[in-house]
Structure 1
Amino acid sequence: MSGLEDALQRDEYLLFIREHGPLAFRMILQPLVATAIAIRAGLRDARSGRRPFAVLVATEPAQRRQLLGELWGDIGRLYLLAVVIDMIFQLVVSRSVDVLQALAIAAILAFPAYLVARGLTNRIARRRLAARAGGTS
């Protein structure tokens, strides 16, 4: 049980230091970049008349593989860069690297911001497109 407790304490320390320490900008920068990418994708979805991305992933199992491939295409490089930055940070701070932790932290920062921003952008853009089409008739 001591090994598990040590790992949890180390993870808490690394998470805390991320928020206040040397690469804290990553806590803001990565979600912002994911949001910018998501806005472009949400506008693309709205122009094509597609429903919000997260709704499609959740409700259309036949399209899920294609949609997740599209997600990876949109933020794959961002995710990989975030993982590398996190692993460098871990190496500098704790002199070791936990790849699973780096993968998890990068996902926690990028994917929720992406999904929320893409869905909201799609909804807002579709309403504006509909209002514009209704006003020009």
Structure 2
Amino acid sequence: MSDMAIQEFVSRTWDMLLGRVGGPFTLRFVVQPSVAVAFAIRAGLRDARKNRPPYLWALVMNPATRRDLLREGWRDIRNVFIIALVLDAIYVLIVHRWVYPGQTLLVAVVLAIVPYLLIRGPVARLIYWLRRG
């Protein structure tokens, strides 16, 4: 693949990803991350009660508990992730008449998993600090 073809592919992919924000199903860009954050808050409160370390930190730094933490996190977020996949596939079919699995996967990760990972640990730490102080 030539440099020009790669640049065209990246440019087209980027345009398609940005086009999702203003197209049909735009509300999902608010609702799905909000639901993921709600699940992260609930899990963060659970972590604080059990006096666990921040979730993302424990995932990265503690290989002994990584598998269990991933399973627990997936149980919390899987439905939001699956709905994000389905809605994005429907959107792409409506707008582009084709499904782009890589883009759909990226959108689902950004809408469901990223907010969960970013919020769960800080919520646990905040609750822990509030209880101590």
| Both structures adopt the same fold (TM-score exceeding 0.5) | yes
Check whether the contact 2:17–2:103 (CA below 8 A) recurs between aligned residues. Answer: no
* Residue 109 of structure 2: aligned partner: 107
Alignment equivalent of 2:84, drawn from 67, 74, 82: 82
Q: 1:71: Cα distance to partner?
A: 1.0
Letter in 2 for 1:33: V
Residues 50-61 of structure 1 aligned to structure 2 (within 5 Å): 50-61=52-63
Alignment equivalent of 2:41, drawn from 36, 39, 47: 39
Residues 9-20 of structure 1 aligned to structure 2 (within 5 Å): 9-20=11-22
Q: 1:4: Cα distance to partner?
A: 3.8
Letter in 2 for 1:9: S
- Work out the percentage of aligned pairs sharing the same amino acid: 39
Check whether the contact 1:18–1:27 (CA below 8 A) recurs between aligned residues. Answer: no
Cα distance in 2, alignment partners of residues 8 and 91 from structure 1: 20
Q: 1:87: Cα distance to partner?
A: 0.4
Cα distance in 1, alignment partners of residues 111 and 98 from structure 2: 21
Q: 1:12: Cα distance to partner?
A: 2.0
Number of aligned positions between the proteins: 131
* Residue 95 of structure 2: aligned partner: 93
Deviation sequence 1:35-83 (CA, Å, 0-9, x none):
0000000000000110110110011011111111111101001101100
Pair member with larger Rg:
1
Structure 1: stretches of 5+ with no match in the other structure? 132-137
Q: CA RMSD in A?
A: 1.5
Cα distance in 2, alignment partners of residues 86 and 11 from structure 1: 14
Q: 1:3: Cα distance to partner?
A: 5.1
Letter in 2 for 1:109: L
Question: TM-score, normalised to structure 1's length?
Answer: 0.88
Check whether the contact 1:43–1:125 (CA below 8 A) recurs between aligned residues. Answer: yes
Question: TM-score, normalised to structure 2's length?
Answer: 0.90
Q: Extract structure 1 runs of 4+ deviating beyond 6 A.
A: none
Letter in 1 for 2:115: A
Cα distance in 1, alignment partners of residues 12 and 28 from structure 2: 19
